[in-house]
Amino acid sequence: MGLNPRRDAGTDSDDRASRRRLLGWLSGVGLFGSGILSAFSNFVFIKPRATYGAPQRFTAGKPSDYPDGTRVALEPRRVCIVRDGNKLAAISTTCTHLGCIVGLSETGFACPCHGSRYDQDGTVTGGPAPKPLAWYKVSLAPNGELEIDKDVEVNPGTYLNV
């Protein structure tokens, strides 16, 4: 009595339409959110967080392993240990021209790739190399071994006194 059947039917269809609209909107938001989350995950995890390079700090034996006047190239580490009296130094064996491994020669260092020449201290004496060889920090580890840190370059002529 007092209920209009036409009016009640319209309200019911409006409720169904609004529910469909709400469910459609929620589905869209869910799909969009999962797509964003998936894209973000791919960008974050595409690059590994681990580095696989050799450590830049390493030990090179005891100072007594290097007698006075020696120059010993440690090929895998690309460094040359030089001893002059009680002084020790580590000089890079990576050519400053294009990164070849320089070899020891009577006058210092020689690059077999493009002919760069360096003296005993790594100063350029000939060839296309633009700058001298790098010198690395040498220190004594607590166990008495030499520790070379290739992340720390020092001025040429900087020796460790032992």
Q: What is the pTM of this model?
A: 0.65
Residues 12 and 62 in one domain: no
Q: Which residues contact 125 (CB under 8 A, 6 or more apart)?
A: 107, 108, 117, 118, 119
Domain shared by 26 and 64, yes or no: no
* 65, 44: one domain: no
Q: What is the pLDDT of residues 53-67, one digit of tens each?
A: 666 888 888 888 888
Residue 127 belongs to what domain range?
57-161
Q: For position 71, which CATH number holds?
A: 2.102.10.10
Backbone angles phi, psi at 59, to 5 degrees: -100, 150
For the chain, give the mean pLDDT. 85
Tens of pLDDT, residues 34-52: 999 988 888 777 777 666 6
Examine the domain organization and report whether 80 and 140 are in the same domain: yes
Whether residues 139 and 93 share a domain: the answer is yes
Residues 63 and 118 in one domain: yes
User: Do 99 and 148 lie in a common domain?
Assistant: yes
Whether residue 40 sits in one domain with residue 99: no
Residue 7 pLDDT exceeds 90? no
Residue linked to tokens 């491994």: 101
Query: Are 150 and 72 members of one domain?
Result: yes
Cα 18 to Cα 93: distance, rounded to the nearest angstrom: 75
Query: CA 11 to CA 110: how far, in whole Å?
Result: 92
- Rounded to 5 degrees, what are φ and ψ at 95? -60, 135
* β pairing state of 103-105 and 108-110: antiparallel
What is the number of domains present in the chain? 2
CA dist., res. 133 & res. 36, Å (int): 49
